[in-house]
């Protein structure tokens, strides 16, 4: 494992993408920064974090003999790894909000951005970026955000937290590489936020509606039992779960 520590950078994912453009980095190359000026989340959203208080990290993972159509399993495995690491630190009521936000109860602790490296139609690796709120106490204009410290009152050593996350990433990638897909999917679905509970959604096609999350498809579409008693599938751009 090769860890690159930076005081400030625009984006840890971008840093790794620039390395990948030249040559594939060493497996489990890790980039961690105290301050990220242009952090990115899902669908172009901005990830904000107080300098020095949180973990802002990207990890490069080589992938061999991995089918492109199976790439959502990467997202599931990463989500499970972070949940397991947070369990070690006794963070309560952990859930995964589809596709890969990590919550405690209904507050967000961690955002994940995965960018897969595909060349000649082959999946060569994955850049796994995550922002984990560790010791930050104030979240102005972010009422749904929280941190490990706010939840437990403990001030955490960020290196210890990072070490545990990396340990769990290795464990779940070993499951992936041994094709334990059903085990990963079952564990992921068991932690889905609002699963089997009546919830409200908004859709780009049908506006606001009620439904019940049933699970996900193998390629990551959300399965929702709708009011007309049909299970429909949605991708990330089509639907939003309202709190």
Q: What is the CATH number of the domain that holds 92?
A: 3.30.930.10
Give the chain's domain count.
Answer: 2
Q: Do 223 and 144 fall into the same domain?
A: no
> Which residue, 74, 243, 54, is CA-closest to 156?
54
Cβ within 8 Å of residue 8, ≥6 positions away: 33, 34, 35, 36, 37
Question: Of 145, 166, 159, which Cα lies nearest the Cα of 58?
Answer: 166
Q: What is the mean pLDDT of residues 172-176?
A: 96
What is the domain extent for residue 210? 198-242
In terms of domains, do 129 and 77 share one? yes
156 with 221, same domain: the answer is no
Dump pLDDT digits (tens) for 34-49.
988 876 555 555 556 6
Express each pLDDT in 185-231 by its tens digit. Answer: 999 999 999 999 999 999 988 899 999 999 999 999 999 999 889 99
Rounded distance between C-alpha atoms, residue 51 and residue 46, angstroms:
15
Q: What is the CATH number of the domain that holds 204?
A: 2.30.30.100
pTM, to two decimals: 0.94
Same domain for 182 and 211: no
Look-up of token digits 């990463």: 78
Q: Are 124 and 62 in contact (CB under 8 A)?
A: yes
Residues 76 and 183 in one domain: yes
- Sheet with 29-33: strands ordered across: 2-6, 29-33, 55-62, 122-132, 107-119, 101-104, 94-97
The tens digit of pLDDT for each residue in 149-163 reads 999 999 999 999 999
**Same domain assignment for residues 155 and 213:** no
For the chain, the average pLDDT equals: 93
* 119 shares its domain with 148: yes
Question: Which of 150, 168, 190 is a domain's end point?
Answer: 190
Same domain? 225 vs 107: no
């Amino acid at each position: 494992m090769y860890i690159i520590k930076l005081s400030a950078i625009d984006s840890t994912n971008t840093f790794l993408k620039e390395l990948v453009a030249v040559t594939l980095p060493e497996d489990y190359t890790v980039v961690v920064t105290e301050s990220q000026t242009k952090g990115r989340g899902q669908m172009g959203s901005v990830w904000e974090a107080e300098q020095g208080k949180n973990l802002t990290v990207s990890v490069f993972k080589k992938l061999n003999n991995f089918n492109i159509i199976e790439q959502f399993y990467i997202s599931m495995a990463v989500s499970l790894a972070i949940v397991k690491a947070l369990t070690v630190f006794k963070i309560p009521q952990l859930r995964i909000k589809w596709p890969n936000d990590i919550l405690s109860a209904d507050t967000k602790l961690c955002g994940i951005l995965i960018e897969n490296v595909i060349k000649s139609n082959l999946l060569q690796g994955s850049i796994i970026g995550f922002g984990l709120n560790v010791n930050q106490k104030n979240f102005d204009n972010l009422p749904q955000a929280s941190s490990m410290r706010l939840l437990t009152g403990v001030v955490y050593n960020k290196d210890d937290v990072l070490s545990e996350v990396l340990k769990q990433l290795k464990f779940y990638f070993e499951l992936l590489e041994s094709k334990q897909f059903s085990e990963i999917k079952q564990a992921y679905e068991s932690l889905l936020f609002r699963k089997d509970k009546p919830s409200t959604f908004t859709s780009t096609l049908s506006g606001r509606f009620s439904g019940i999350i049933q699970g996900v498809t193998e390629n990551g579409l959300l399965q929702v039992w709708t009011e007309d008693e049909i299970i429909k599938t949605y991708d990330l751009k089509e639907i939003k779960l309202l709190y």
